Structures are given as structure tokens and as C-alpha cells.
Structure 1
Amino acid sequence: MIRVLIADDEWMVRAMVRTILDVADDITVIGEAADGAEAVSLARSTRPDVVLMDIRMPRADGLAATRQLQQLPAPPKVVVLTTFDLDEYVQTALGSGAVGFLLKDATATDMLTAVRSAAAGDAMLSPKITRRLLARFAAPDPGTGRKANAARQLQVLTNKEREVLVAIARGMANTDIATHLHLSEATVKTHVSRILSKLTLTNRVQAAILAHHAGLADDGLA
């Protein structure tokens, strides 16, 4: 059973999310928080597997709460709840330890998939959302040498790891990558772990952005 904590300052959003999650047999909502401080406190006492974390909240916002959660002995997976188009803090949240993000207008299916993926250590990055993220946070930056620098960072990867990285940047989950590259899902998970370790990254979104900077995923994200 996947234990989920919902953190959002709008009670209607919390109610909507709970209603969706309560339908699933493998997911249980163990608490709701109206701000970041309460989210951290509840996470310490209830030990959720996944926290759905809003960013803009009173007292402590989602960014501060996410950073604090990463200090716990067994930190939960944090999925950012965001309106995205209005939220300039998504990249900071991911850099603070969040494993992914979920739009507040996501379908029920996407919300359930995001929770299950996070619990399994696999962030949900659909191609549509990946394109929107990269368009905002990884836009071309001519004249800085960023592409060459990113390409140098990727030199530590094997050919197969590069193939997996491109698939990540194109929004594929581990199961899709396994099918696409004719590998077992366990092998894909191993490759993903090695990629993040070699590149000193904390999540798949950062890996996707780096691949985009290096020009590896241009065809898949155009």
C-alpha cells in the first residue's frame, strides 16, 4: 500500500486529490497539510511514501518543506503540485529534492500514475509536460558554451546509458524504455541509477534538461 500525504493550502484541492486517490486499492491518504510546516510535521509522524506538495503555501512554502523532508532518515518521494504556467519555482523544487511534478489540472489517471511512479522511484514525465518544462527552463542560451559543457559532462556515460538518457528526456517511463531498447525493466533501473550517480543529479528531470542542453534530445522534443 502506497501511503500519501497531501500538502496544499486550498482545501478544495486537497479534497479533490483525496477523492481521486481514495478510488485506488493500492493507495491510501494518511494525512493532509495546509502549509509546509504542517507537511513536515505530519511526514515525521506518519512516514508517507509520497508527498504531493504544493509550492505556494503560508508559514513554510513547498520549497522549504521539500528541503526539510530530504533531511529525514527515510525521506518520502516528493511530487510537486503546480499550476506550472504560473509557477516559476518548479526547477528550484526539483533541485531541492522533488522527484517530479504534477499539474493541478492533470487527469485522475495521470495523478494515480504519478503517485505510483514516484513510489517506485520513477518520476512521471509525459512528452507533453517534458516539452513545456524544457521550453521554460532549458531554452537555448547561445554564446555561453552551455552545449559544449553539457556534452563534456555526458562523456562519462556508456553508449547504452546515453540511449537511456535520451529516452528519459523524451518522457519515457522505465517500462517504456525497457520495451524501446529491448532491455529488462530491472536493467533500465540500474542504468538510470548509474546515470544520476555519474552526473551527480538527483532526479530524472535534471537529467532530461542536461540531455537537452547537450543537444541529445532535440529530435525527440521538437
Structure 2
Amino acid sequence: MEQVKVLIVDDEPLIRNALGTILATDAQIVTLDSVENGLKAVEFCQNHEVDVILMDLQMPIMDGVTATREIKSIKNSPAILAITAFSSDDYLVPVLAAGASGYLVKDTDPAEIISAVHAVHRGTAAISASVSSELVSAIQVAYRDTTQEVEDLISDLGLTAREVEILNLLAKGLNNPEISKLLKISETTVKTHMAKIFSKLEVRDRVQALVAATRMGLIEIPRDS
């Protein structure tokens, strides 16, 4: 059974202990260590093999966004799952842009935290539903690039009509099985399209694809009602 090696990064001992307790309920997850700031996280990753990091964002010495950027510059860097008490776009977009594959708030259900760890380890993404409106506001308002007509941009990127269709379904929150059922194509075909989308947008996963596509004005993420 493959083990997922996790590093916990948070300046609050209580939170580090709580996350460690949650992760210990999954036999596949091994918590390697817990550290109290971003600098120690960077140093740990330079000397140890880590699969996933649970990264707090507000910490002394080095914050989580800076640490994420530093760690993602390391060869074969681990997946990073931001986990914070704040759902503000002041933190959300910067940490995603720095290379995080997911963003959870600390009141997330323990089972969802475990699922998110496995998701980012597989190369997919995880994001709390409670921060979806902040994701919309932050990317569409602050990061959207409107310098080029969308149709021209789609052509320049080499995106097919089907790939744009899948991007829009992804923006609506559909997963691979749901997209497969709706479009009446196999899940394997969906995964193939998704891989081509990631390559053309030069991203690693679904969250980064949403960030890039929304920033460029290719899609719009529906706002929560």
C-alpha cells in the first residue's frame, strides 16, 4: 500500500496536533513532522522527501504564500494544500498563483481534509466549497486579462471547442464522471481532454486551470446564489 508522506506547517501547536490526529485516522497517510513556520518547511523539504504539505498562510518568519513559492521551485516538489482560518481572496489567489493545488478552511470536515490530501497527491485539486465565491471575485475582478478577444485567444492557445466546453463544465464544479455522463463520452476521453487543456494552459491541475482560464477571460465561474 502506497503511503502519502505529509508535512504539517502551522504556527499554532493546537492546530498542528489536531491535523496530526485527523491524518492519523487514515492508514495510508504518514505525518513526517510538523513545523511552525514557512522557513522551516522550506528547509525540511530541501532535506526530506515529502508528498503533500498542509500549509498555513499567516505565520511568523516566513508566511505560507512565500513558503509555497519557495518550495515549488524545488525539483520534484510536493503538492501543497493551503489550510487556513481565512477564506479571503487576500490569501486565496496568491497561494494558488504560488503553486498550491488546493485551499481549505480550518473548519473543514476531517473526512474532507483526508480526501483533499489524497486528491492533491494524485495530481488533482481540492478547494473548500465555502471559498468558491472568493475565488470568483478574486480572479475575475483582480486577475482577469481582457487585452485580447476571447475567440482569438482560444485560437492562439489551440483549444478545441470540446476543450472549451469541458473547461466551462469544470468551472461549474462538475467532476470527470459527471462531465462524461453529460457529454456522453468515456471518462478516459474526459481525462485525455483534461490533460490537453492542462498542457495548453501550462498548468498542473484543475484549480490552476480555473485560475488561468478565468484570468484570461476564457470562462466565467458561476457565483454562489
Same fold (TM over 0.5): yes
Does structure 2 retain, via aligned residues, the 8 Å contact 1:170–1:221?
no
- Determine the structure 2 residue equivalent to 1:201: 203
Which piece of structure 1 moves more, 29-38 or 82-91? 82-91
Percent of aligned pairs with the same amino acid: 32
Which piece of structure 1 moves more, 131-140 or 212-221? 212-221
Q: CA deviation at 1:177?
A: 3.5
The within-5 A match list for 1:10-21 is 10-21=12-23
Seen in structure 2, the aligned counterparts of structure 1 residues 149 and 92 have a Cα distance that, compared at 3 Å, is: farther
Unaligned runs of 5+ in 2: none
Which piece of structure 1 moves more, 109-118 or 191-200? 191-200
Residue-pair matches, total: 220
Measured in 1, the distance between the counterparts of 2:147 and 2:28 equals: 43
Does structure 1 retain, via aligned residues, the 8 Å contact 2:172–2:222?
no
Measured in 2, the distance between the counterparts of 1:30 and 1:167 equals: 37
Which piece of structure 1 moves more, 210-219 or 125-134? 210-219
1:134-167 deviations in Å (ceiling 9; x for gaps): 13432499xx972864554333211221222122
Q: Which amino acid aligns with 1:77?
A: A
Which piece of structure 1 moves more, 166-175 or 177-186? 177-186
The within-5 A match list for 1:93-172 is 93-125=95-127, 128-139=130-141, 146=146, 149-155=149-155, 156-172=158-174
Measured in 2, the distance between the counterparts of 1:38 and 1:14 equals: 14
Seen in structure 2, the aligned counterparts of structure 1 residues 201 and 12 have a Cα distance that, compared at 3 Å, is: same
Seen in structure 2, the aligned counterparts of structure 1 residues 89 and 117 have a Cα distance that, compared at 3 Å, is: same
Partner of 1:42, secondary structure, is helix
1:35-75 deviations in Å (ceiling 9; x for gaps): 01111122222311111111111112112211111122210
Partner of 1:191, secondary structure, is helix
Measured in 2, the distance between the counterparts of 1:50 and 1:209 equals: 21
Seen in structure 2, the aligned counterparts of structure 1 residues 80 and 67 have a Cα distance that, compared at 3 Å, is: same
The within-5 A match list for 1:208-219 is 208-212=210-214, 214=217, 216-217=219-220
1:86-143 deviations in Å (ceiling 9; x for gaps): 46122111111111211111111211111111001110246553333113432499xx
Seen in structure 2, the aligned counterparts of structure 1 residues 151 and 201 have a Cα distance that, compared at 3 Å, is: farther
RMSD: 2.8
1:160-183 deviations in Å (ceiling 9; x for gaps): 212221222122344443444444
Does structure 2 retain, via aligned residues, the 8 Å contact 1:4–1:50?
yes
Partner of 1:88, secondary structure, is helix
- Determine the structure 2 residue equivalent to 1:46: 48
- Determine the structure 1 residue equivalent to 2:37: 35
Unaligned runs of 5+ in 1: none
Which piece of structure 1 moves more, 124-133 or 61-70? 124-133
Measured in 2, the distance between the counterparts of 1:118 and 1:210 equals: 18
Seen in structure 2, the aligned counterparts of structure 1 residues 29 and 160 have a Cα distance that, compared at 3 Å, is: same
Which residue of 24, 27, 36 maps to 2:26? 24
Seen in structure 2, the aligned counterparts of structure 1 residues 126 and 71 have a Cα distance that, compared at 3 Å, is: closer
Q: CA deviation at 1:201?
A: 3.4
Which piece of structure 1 moves more, 80-89 or 114-123? 80-89
Does structure 1 retain, via aligned residues, the 8 Å contact 2:124–2:205?
no
Seen in structure 2, the aligned counterparts of structure 1 residues 160 and 125 have a Cα distance that, compared at 3 Å, is: farther
Measured in 2, the distance between the counterparts of 1:86 and 1:157 equals: 32
Q: CA deviation at 1:184?
A: 4.3
